[in-house]
Structure 1
Amino acid sequence: MLCIKHHSTDPYFNIATDEFIFKHLKEDCFMLWRNDNAIIVGKHQNTQAEINADYVKEKGIKVVRRLSGGGAVYHDLGNLNFSFTRTGDSYEMVDFERYTKPIIDVLKSLGVDAKFEGRNDLTIEGKKFSGNAEHVVKNKILHHGTLLFSSQMTDVSGALKINPLKYKDRSVKSVPKRVTNISDHLKEKISLEEFTNKVMDHITSTFEDARMYEFTEEDLKKIQQIRDEKYSTWEWNFGKSPDYNFKQGARTKGGTLEMHMNVSQGIIKDVRITGDFFHIKDIEPVERALENTKHEENAIREVLQQFNLKEYFNNISEDDLVAVMF
């Protein structure tokens, strides 16, 4: 088994790396890695319904869709991620306890009473510190999980906080749970780097065929290509969302404003703008112009800038209209 300490903190590159070790390396792998601020959404989720758009924009948080299902998770540099790839008999592939056991073993050696609970979580004193997801194709599995070590909890909650009334769809919803950092439960404090080394040492000493591996230049070029062509694109991260209906209202200087939209594959299919605002011209041309536009801020602004909005909405700005669309 190839053991990799991956040093990139670019979320797009790292999720591409997960795909690379799963699809392009024949040997089984174990990898440890970290992302700078990012929300990683499950393959079958509606991205817009999982993120706090204003918070994400303000903090410069990257949003990336992964290969596996499950719910959205927040990553920062206080969060350690681990990935396993394995080839074997298909009937034994999906086994969350099997792949999380090494993590529990390391924590128990540090005096932390960690447990596997529910479908795919690791907990300490009933609080979640690790969520796990799996992706299976034929007889090969990618299992990856998060390990909250010293994450900023205000960012975890702020980035994922969303108004459930905005979106109506059939996508897989994240279920908020009480979370905790591993570092808060250690009897003797250690750094994240020391913890990372302990996990890797445990893996290399437990698995007989384990050996360290460094990505080659050819590997890195392939990962970069996957990153650029897939994981850094709006089409993958937002356009792959299931169809959804969106509704939101807001108070503005010009009165109440409500936005109703039907969105398919990230594209706005129809729009209805209602409220008690005053207008000079009929707003239908604005509604029609927004059809077939990405549900994405820059694309929406580009459409709105074609209009002298003062002629359509009294005391309602472009910023007001954009804000009520997310």
Structure 2
Amino acid sequence: MEVHIIESNDIYLNLAMEQALFLELPENSRRLLIWKSSPCVVMGRFQNPWVECDLEGMRKDGVALARRQSGGGTVYHDSGNMNVSFMDWNESYDKDVNNRIMIKTLEEHGHRAFSSGRSDVQIITPEGNKKVSGAAFKKKRDRSFHHATMLLNSNLDNLNKYLVPKIGEERVQTKAISSVRSKVANTHISEEEFVRDLVKNYELEHKGKARIRIWTEEEVQEKVHMDPKYLHELKSWKWICGETPLFKTKLQVSGWEVDISIKKGVIQEVELHHDDVHPGFLAELSEVLTKMSLRKEALEAQFNLPEVETYSEQALLLKELLSAYFIKDFEHLD
């Protein structure tokens, strides 16, 4: 039985480290990882960033965007949110046991806590039940992990700010898994107390003494870069945006009617209609937009076409309409 405490605050390093320790899980053993990250938004494996978060606001504020390998919903991380990953072999893996460990830790700090039907952990407050921990899972042929957030002293204003998309969900038809919005609360437990008591309850539940390993950021870097392929994938446009399932949207403004189908971050089909724009130009512009990656740099380049001058006013309105779907590159996107 092992406990690994990761001192890196880099979400990509942390997710890569989680994957490495999961794949190297020793036989007849189990692992608990404890870690946190600088401000970031982390999506589930099958989610759509355009309808899960405020992409432009995050980019401006330096909030990273990541996609994990497990399912589940989109979450916000910062230094006031702890992440825990329970790793075990399938024959002994039990997510209810993992939740019991977290609930016991919360109860020792005065909270009345329980596990919801979605495997989240909630606490009872005077304002009603509020979520303090969300869960996601990954299962391989012989092993599984359950990772969970725990709101200690997170910035809930930022959580609510970044997890609200600028694109209205009602305008989008998508096959992606959508997050279930819940009222949340901080537990107001210190990081030191939470880690101490979580480890204690993990050992009590499994009736043994854990071997504790603390990883410095330098050690995490060294470990992850032994095989950097997965880290590079985690930071890539292809993974973060290009793994988005098919979605369709219909836009109408200032005479424009636009129907777009998007898959893997690329426009698959687009139909443009405007009574005051020549059909030939509409067809040409539709052809230009089709197969275009939703990177804002691509949109800027295409709207410098000479033909756009003829319909400059209408074209600028179209560009403004489309711009919400085109992402200006985050610093980390390859």
TM-score with structure 1 setting the length: 0.85
List per-residue Cα deviations over 1:161-183 (Å, max 9, x = no partner).
13112320122111101111111
- Between the aligned partners of 1:275 and 1:318, the Cα distance in structure 2 is 10
- Between the aligned partners of 1:151 and 1:275, the Cα distance in structure 2 is 47
2:69 is aligned to: 67
Residues 301 and 322, structure 1, Cα contact 8 Å, conserved in 2: no
- Between the aligned partners of 1:324 and 1:45, the Cα distance in structure 2 is 18
User: Over aligned residues, Cα RMSD in angstroms?
Assistant: 2.6
User: Per the alignment, in what secondary structure is the counterpart of residue 169 of structure 2?
Assistant: coil
2:95 is aligned to: 96
Letter in 2 for 1:120: S
2:330 is aligned to: none
2:179 is aligned to: 174
1:86 is aligned to: 88
Alpha-carbon offset, residue 244 of structure 1: 1.1
Equivalent pairs, count? 312
Q: Given the alignment of the two structures, is residue 153 of structure 1 paired with residue 152 of structure 2, yes or no?
A: no
Q: Given the alignment of the two structures, is residue 136 of structure 1 paired with residue 139 of structure 2, yes or no?
A: yes
User: Per the alignment, in what secondary structure is the counterpart of residue 170 of structure 2?
Assistant: coil
Residues 41 and 66, structure 1, Cα contact 8 Å, conserved in 2: yes
Give the counterpart of 2:250 among 247, 250, 270: 247
- Bigger shift: residues 136-145 or 56-65: 56-65
Give the counterpart of 2:170 among 158, 165, 168: 165
Structure scoring higher RCO (CA < 8 A, sep ≥ 6) equals 2
Alpha-carbon offset, residue 60 of structure 1: 2.4
- Bigger shift: residues 26-35 or 144-153: 26-35
1:19 is aligned to: 19
- Between the aligned partners of 1:258 and 1:223, the Cα distance in structure 2 is 48
Matches within 5 A, 1:110-129: 110-125=109-124, 126-129=129-132
The change in CA–CA distance for 1:151 and 1:237 in structure 2 (over 3 A counts) is same
Matches within 5 A, 1:48-59: 48-59=50-61
The change in CA–CA distance for 1:317 and 1:169 in structure 2 (over 3 A counts) is closer
Give the counterpart of 1:226 among 224, 227, 230: 230
Letter in 2 for 1:221: H
The change in CA–CA distance for 1:324 and 1:19 in structure 2 (over 3 A counts) is same
Letter in 2 for 1:99: N
The change in CA–CA distance for 1:195 and 1:246 in structure 2 (over 3 A counts) is same
2:40 is aligned to: 38
Alpha-carbon offset, residue 113 of structure 1: 1.2
- Between the aligned partners of 1:277 and 1:10, the Cα distance in structure 2 is 50
The change in CA–CA distance for 1:277 and 1:85 in structure 2 (over 3 A counts) is farther
1:4 is aligned to: 4
- Between the aligned partners of 1:294 and 1:283, the Cα distance in structure 2 is 19
2:240 is aligned to: 237
- Between the aligned partners of 1:173 and 1:238, the Cα distance in structure 2 is 15
- Bigger shift: residues 158-167 or 119-128: 158-167
Unmatched segments (≥5 aa) in structure 1: 184-189
Residues 16 and 224, structure 2, Cα contact 8 Å, conserved in 1: no
The change in CA–CA distance for 1:10 and 1:309 in structure 2 (over 3 A counts) is farther
- Between the aligned partners of 2:230 and 2:77, the Cα distance in structure 1 is 20
Residues 278 and 314, structure 1, Cα contact 8 Å, conserved in 2: no
Alpha-carbon offset, residue 70 of structure 1: 1.3
2:212 is aligned to: 212
Alpha-carbon offset, residue 53 of structure 1: 2.5
1:187 is aligned to: none
Alpha-carbon offset, residue 260 of structure 1: 2.3
User: Per the alignment, in what secondary structure is the counterpart of residue 313 of structure 2?
Assistant: coil
- Between the aligned partners of 2:118 and 2:48, the Cα distance in structure 1 is 21
List per-residue Cα deviations over 1:240-284 (Å, max 9, x = no partner).
11111123345xxxx354442101222111123345776798233
- Bigger shift: residues 290-299 or 37-46: 290-299
- Between the aligned partners of 2:169 and 2:318, the Cα distance in structure 1 is 25
List per-residue Cα deviations over 1:287-316 (Å, max 9, x = no partner).
211211222323333333445643333162
Residues 79 and 148, structure 1, Cα contact 8 Å, conserved in 2: yes
Residues 13 and 224, structure 1, Cα contact 8 Å, conserved in 2: no
Letter in 2 for 1:169: T
User: Per the alignment, in what secondary structure is the counterpart of residue 281 of structure 2?
Assistant: coil
2:30 is aligned to: 28
The change in CA–CA distance for 1:86 and 1:277 in structure 2 (over 3 A counts) is farther
Residues 53 and 164, structure 2, Cα contact 8 Å, conserved in 1: yes
